A and B are shown apart, each in its own frame.
Chain A
Amino acid sequence: MKVVVCIKQVPDTKGGVKFNPDGTLDRAAMMTIMNPDDKAGLEAALRLKDQYGAEVTVLTMGLPKAEDVLREAMAMGADKGVLVTDRVLGGADTWATSQTLAGALRNMEYDLIITGRQAIDGDTAQVGPQISEHLDIPVISYAQNLKIEGDSVIVERQFDDRYHVLKAKMPCLITALAELNEPRYMTPGGIFDACKAEITVWGRADLKDVEDSNLGLKGSPTQIAKASDKVRKGAGEKVNLDPAESVDYIVGKLKEKHVI
């Protein structure tokens, strides 16, 4: 069984956010981590490796330094890493990103593709389902549980007030929620092996069946009109009183605003 996990190196949103003059993200200037939902997807794949001996390949698209996130995944136990990096792929929206990853996946063997539900930088939750569309395979998003039965996967998919138990024939794609599991740590020995391991690096020419017009900034249907730090509502009053006075203060304000 072969599992490909799509992972993304994302800026740690705690570290502050920077933009290029064209409104795209200046990823080079920010601290990075493995996207949490992707990490849960990787953990799910590694459990399939533990349980069924699945071969786990991690795939990412990004700047050359995105190699780090592949090494982290390999230090957790992934077998192989593939980095898709090319200047012409920069500035991609979800359409162009999913086209790129689908182009890479067409060159790979897989029974199951796992992506995170969404990345903490974009929060779009689009790339996974869009890849499945380009590859013409079923998708199950928001997986909170996953098992293999013959040539099918059985997944609990979370919705607002319910979950569905769904069965899909492989090959298929599932998107994982961070709640799916508690990802394992890297091991020290895994780190040493991962740093020695060969990473496969692909460029534009290695993508299969993808038109130039679907790649990078130029292949992105959505365009950024404006991006900025969020303007927050200013602070109101702050008081430091003893408990009884605090209560009077709150009640007074609620009366003033006709809440009571």
Chain B
Amino acid sequence: MDFTLRKEHEMARALFKEFAEKEVKPLAQEVDETEVFPRGTVEKMAKNGFLGIPVPKEYGGQGCDPLTYVMCVEELSKVCGTTGVIVSAHTSLCCDPIMTFGTEEQKQKYLVLLAKGEKLGAFGLTEPGAGTDAQGQQTKAVLDGNEYVINGSKIFITNGKEADVYVIFAVTGMIEKRGRMMKEISAFIVEKGMPGFSFGTKEKKMGIRGSSTYELIFTDCRVPQENMLGKPGQGFKIAMHTLDGGRIGIAAQALGIAEGALDRTIAYTKERKQFGKSIAAQQNTQFQLADMATKVQAAQLLVYKAAMAKANQKEYGFEAAQAKLYAAETAMEVTTKAVQLHGGYGYTREYDVERMMRDAKITEIYEGTSEVQKMVISAALLK
């Protein structure tokens, strides 16, 4: 086994790093402070192909592998967690299910524009009463003629008001499974502007404050029948499969945040002097940095392994769950230590680690909390 990266991955990382440093980093603080979605950055990323990295070229994408995509989210998140999650939600949660489950017509109509970045994607599964428990879904879709009529709402939707194309889940009926009546869930591709589709309030969040997190409201929203993604009743499977991929993206975001905080802390502790010497010369600092760096490295290996599993295996939920669990917890731990090592300055908005600690927290929560990841991992162990 050889851990060296291939030439193309090295070059891609250099590209993402340069882009992040030049185009994203200068705005990170402002995006956080003003909570304004970085539309200009999204346009630049679209122009450079960052919004269709793992999508095949025939569908307008870059034809690269999941590892390249993961590196993109990682490098962006090193400087700005908001920008990282915009790419992750768009790619993993919208492009990926259409690529995997969409018809040729759906791919031509939606995936091509998404992969080129001419349209931005989002994903709507969570509801007020249904987070991880998909069976709690209340949103319904009823076939009327050749259209489905959707009623209900989705909350905490990343890229919410800024997206153009949404993969939405709704209950389309009841079926009997092992003697129990279960909700039959189906997936739909919904466009912004379809009649009856509107937005609720914007969430005011602790971190990733520039990402546009909205409630989606469907009031007799009419969606053409051909916009059903996959087959009727396939929705739960699509959602779970999509989240397996999404978790790799979030794991990469968490990894990037942790790396960014570590880099800044190393630089700061070398500069900052206390009691006549740099704080990097104190053994406590050295040991803290050693722990942080080791965990970051372990997280990176898990995240890259999950990306390779997505490239090479049919099922990769186990690897994705481990990567996300560990990377998210590492992000939280490393950013917390980073703030501590920055002392009072680290608690102020003048230093990036303050933002990074707030951004890190969400990675333990969305696309399956850490507890849910542990359920997935243990279920596979005990099966």
A and B touching (Cβ–Cβ under 8 A): yes
- A: residues with CB less than 8 A from B are 71-72, 75, 184-192, 194-195
Q: Is there an interface contact between A187 and B8, defined as CB atoms closer than 8 Å?
A: no
Q: Is there an interface contact between A188 and B19, defined as CB atoms closer than 8 Å?
A: no
Partner of B63, one of A71, A75, A189: A189
Query: For residue B18, which residues in chain A have a CB less than 8 angstroms away from its CB?
Result: 185
Q: Chain B interface: which size bin?
A: 10 to 19
- B: residues with CB less than 8 A from A are 6-8, 11-12, 15, 18-19, 48-50, 53, 57, 61-64, 68, 72
Q: Is there an interface contact between B7 and A188, defined as CB atoms closer than 8 Å?
A: no
Q: Bound state CA distance, A189 and B61, in angstroms? A: 8
Q: Bound state CA distance, A192 and B72, in angstroms? A: 14
Q: Is there an interface contact between A187 and B11, defined as CB atoms closer than 8 Å?
A: no
Query: For residue B15, which residues in chain A have a CB less than 8 angstroms away from its CB?
Result: 75, 185-186, 188, 191
Query: For residue A75, which residues in chain B have a CB less than 8 angstroms away from its CB?
Result: 11, 15
Partner of B19, one of A72, A185, A190, A195: A185
Q: Bound state CA distance, A192 and B62, in angstroms? A: 9
A188-B72 contact in complex given A72-B11, A195-B11, C-beta closer than 8 Å? yes
CB-CB nearest in chain A for B11: A191
Distance of B26 from chain A, by nearest CB (Å)? 15
Distance of B204 from chain A, by nearest CB (Å)? 34
Q: Is there an interface contact between A186 and B62, defined as CB atoms closer than 8 Å?
A: no
Query: For residue A185, which residues in chain B have a CB less than 8 angstroms away from its CB?
Result: 15, 18-19, 48
The 10 closest A-B pairs by CB, nearest first: A189-B62, A187-B49, A195-B8, A188-B62, A191-B11, A188-B64, A186-B15, A185-B48, A188-B53, A189-B63
Q: Is there an interface contact between A189 and B49, defined as CB atoms closer than 8 Å?
A: yes
Q: Bound state CA distance, A194 and B12, in angstroms? A: 11
Distance of B303 from chain A, by nearest CB (Å)? 18
Q: Is there an interface contact between A189 and B57, defined as CB atoms closer than 8 Å?
A: yes
Query: For residue B48, which residues in chain A have a CB less than 8 angstroms away from its CB?
Result: 184-185, 187
Query: For residue A189, which residues in chain B have a CB less than 8 angstroms away from its CB?
Result: 49, 57, 61-64
Q: Bound state CA distance, A189 and B59, in angstroms? A: 13
Query: For residue B11, which residues in chain A have a CB less than 8 angstroms away from its CB?
Result: 71-72, 75, 186, 191, 194-195
Distance of B188 from chain A, by nearest CB (Å)? 30
A188-B15, A191-B11, A192-B63 known, 5 other contacts, Cβ within 8 Å: A75-B11, A185-B48, A186-B15, A187-B62, A188-B62
Most buried by A among B8, B50, B72: B8
Sampled A-B contacts (15; CB under 8 Å) = A71-B11, A72-B11, A75-B11, A184-B48, A186-B11, A187-B48, A188-B12, A188-B15, A188-B62, A189-B62, A191-B11, A191-B12, A191-B15, A194-B8, A195-B6
Query: For residue A71, which residues in chain B have a CB less than 8 angstroms away from its CB?
Result: 7, 11
Query: For residue A186, which residues in chain B have a CB less than 8 angstroms away from its CB?
Result: 11, 15
Query: For residue A72, which residues in chain B have a CB less than 8 angstroms away from its CB?
Result: 11
Query: For residue A190, which residues in chain B have a CB less than 8 angstroms away from its CB?
Result: 49
A192-B19 contact in complex given A185-B48, A187-B48, A187-B49, C-beta closer than 8 Å? no
